[in-house]
Structure 1
Amino acid sequence: MLVSPGFQVMALGVQTAFELANIVTEEAFYTVHLVSLTGGMVETSLGFKVETKPLAALKNIDTLMLLAGTLPPDDLPPDTIKTLKTTMKRARRVAGLCTGGFLMAQTGVLNGKRATTHWLYAKEMRARFPEITVEDDRIFINEGPYWTSAGLTAGLDLAVGLVEKDLGAEVARSVAHKLVMHHRRAGGQSQHSELLELAPKTDRIQNALIYARKHLKNALSVEELAEVARLSPRQFSRAFRIETGQSPAKAVEQLRLEQARILLEETTHPLETVAQETGFQDLRRMRETFMRRYGQPPQTIRRSARMAV
């Protein structure tokens, strides 16, 4: 893991995925080193410092993970770019966590390839590096030996993806379980969560939304959700619109779409099964909703997810 001054501490948490993989397999499959260009103490975004080894001291590098400092990273000096290029050639694969993808981009290795980064900086990446196809709605992207991830927690998803490539799906699932991940997020999944986007302000509306996401196979009428919130249907509809800016029916549709897309991207369930499991009345209704929201039918989204693996 190559860190730069001002890097965010949370990124160090991805090391845990490799540590747990060693525990699951009962062997020291991974050895993790924290390095910087010159070695020594490197200051984090929170102000404290961590000890690093000099990058040149590592003779064998399997996976090089880049953590950026300033957000987004400034242009690197030519000698630094040269050093990174040389190091990347020595590694089997390279990963840019969050805005670490900017460091990769400056070396040219992502030219002609797809990449992602934190959604907040995707527009700038697209402007600075027009040769790269920036997909700002992805958790992580794997393009041959080059991996890039969205921000913060998405680095863990990328790390588990690396473990899966190396040690198989069963080990990756065990690692994700030990990390207390709610579910194993595939790279093609959106960076955005509908539940977070709705952002209700009271526990009553929040509980109703959580209930809805857990019971998508239900009809989820206003009456059913109002009962969970312990409000009359009229009070619930009014409070829901005030807190989320939309109707309960529209919010439920968004939750159904989000879960259906996850099932399309991460499972091989028939489309009819996906429609049933997520509460759409039938495949036709699901297809119409996908076309209205994404401009693509469900089978196209599934095909795109398979191609991105």
Structure 2
Amino acid sequence: MLRVGIVLFPGFQVMNLGMTSVLEFANREMSEPLYDFVLLSEHGGPVVCSSGFEVSTQPFGDSRFDTILVVGDNDLQPSPPSLIDFLRRASPAARRVAAACTGAFHLAEAGLLHGRRATTHWYYAADMRKRYPDVKVEEDRIFIIDNDVWTSAGMTACIDLALAFVEKDAGAELARHVARKLVVYHRRAGGQSQFSALLELEPKSDRIQTALSYARRNLSAPLSVEQLADAAHLSPRQFTRAFREEMGHTPAKAVERLRVEAARLMLETGRHGVDVVARDVGFGDRERMRRAFLRAFGQPPQAVQRMTRDIE
């Protein structure tokens, strides 16, 4: 059984506890439990989370752990000296050390991210880069694995990190079963952007939102203005005018952003060639997709694919 120590402190972000559900359901899927996870804190006993309720914990002690996981918080609290001491003392004996969200700051403070690639919540990435210039911060990632040190982005990315644990420890099939039980996507690739194109587009009206949602579901189709207008229940002329007023650019530009996001995700899985991806997301051919990637990322699809493989 793999022993996982999850490090908590007053004010920790409660969503990070979602990782325990991943480990719990992994145990439920096995004939014998795979994980023994323990909530830890400096003195043990009740620890108050960001939402104001208490969680029972055990003191740090001298126990050995297969995995040590440090959670984050909402306010980027200073690293408690006892936590840094525990990390420095316990991490050499662990197979894997990990952090969710701003928990990466505690790993960095303990010197565990020196010279390593790491990610954290996008909102605090600049702070991490400034405080710890020796850390190779890559904020636009869901999670990063650098040998035995794992870090994830903020909030729900902790679920992706935990599913990656399960996949690494017991295989992709178990991770898929757990994801289905939890009704979450199996899992987002580590190199996937923390941002969603549909969220960034920020349509103001339900009609434009409906058209963009339709486009995302039908990226392999031509997606003409007429099709999008029909989805929005507007005439093509009304739709084009309303779209420009709300979004500040053309429907074609928005569709390209959605296609680039979908293509990037497919490339990150490593199971699809560039030609297949270009066809499946509606670019038609690799040259059109290459030009779109250069506009979006400043580099071609093959470079994005290589970068993802290097990260993971």
TM-based fold match above 0.5: yes
Q: Is the 8 A contact 1:64 1:94 kept in 2?
A: yes
Aligned counterpart, 1:120: 123
- 1:80 offset after TM fit, Å? 4.0
Aligned counterpart, 1:254: 257
Any residues of structure 2 matched to 1:202-281 within 5 Å, and which?
Answer: 202-281=205-284
Aligned counterpart, 2:176: 173
- 1:210 offset after TM fit, Å? 1.1
Matched, 1:2 2:7: yes
Aligned counterpart, 1:29: 34
Aligned counterpart, 2:71: 67
Q: For residues 262 and 191 of structure 1, what CA distance do their matches in structure 2 show?
A: 11
Q: In the alignment, which of 87, 102, 106 is matched to residue 105 of structure 2?
A: 102
Matched, 1:45 2:50: yes
Task: Identify unmatched segments of 5+ residues in structure 2.
Answer: 1-5
Q: For residues 303 and 3 of structure 1, what CA distance do their matches in structure 2 show?
A: 36
Q: For residues 126 and 86 of structure 2, what CA distance do their matches in structure 1 show?
A: 27
- 1:184 offset after TM fit, Å? 2.2
Equivalent AA in structure 1 for residue 38 of structure 2:
H
Matched position secondary structure for 1:34: strand
Q: For residues 46 and 302 of structure 2, what CA distance do their matches in structure 1 show?
A: 51
Runs of 4 or more consecutive aligned structure 1 residues displaced over 4 Å after TM superposition: none
Equivalent AA in structure 2 for residue 59 of structure 1:
S
Aligned counterpart, 2:309: 306
Any residues of structure 2 matched to 1:125-204 within 5 Å, and which?
Answer: 125-204=128-207
Q: For residues 128 and 258 of structure 2, what CA distance do their matches in structure 1 show?
A: 30
Matched position secondary structure for 2:213: helix
Identity %: 52
Q: Is the 8 A contact 2:119 2:125 kept in 1?
A: yes
Q: For residues 220 and 298 of structure 2, what CA distance do their matches in structure 1 show?
A: 24
Cα deviation, 1:251-280, whole Å, max 9, x if unaligned, reads: 100000000001111132221110000100
Task: Identify unmatched segments of 5+ residues in structure 1.
Answer: none
Cα deviation, 1:92-143, whole Å, max 9, x if unaligned, reads: 1111100000000001110101000000000000000000010000000001
- 1:7 offset after TM fit, Å? 0.7
Q: Is the 8 A contact 1:3 1:69 kept in 2?
A: no
Q: For residues 299 and 186 of structure 2, what CA distance do their matches in structure 1 show?
A: 25
RMSD: 1.4
Matched position secondary structure for 2:38: coil
- 1:51 offset after TM fit, Å? 1.1
Q: For residues 32 and 299 of structure 2, what CA distance do their matches in structure 1 show?
A: 45
Equivalent AA in structure 1 for residue 11 of structure 2:
G
Moved more, 33-42 or 94-103: 33-42
Cα deviation, 1:7-31, whole Å, max 9, x if unaligned, reads: 1111111111111111222321111
Cα deviation, 1:147-195, whole Å, max 9, x if unaligned, reads: 1100000000000001111001111111122221234201011000001
TM (normalized to structure 2)? 0.95
Aligned residues: 307
Q: Is the 8 A contact 1:2 1:36 kept in 2?
A: yes
Q: Is the 8 A contact 2:8 2:71 kept in 1?
A: yes
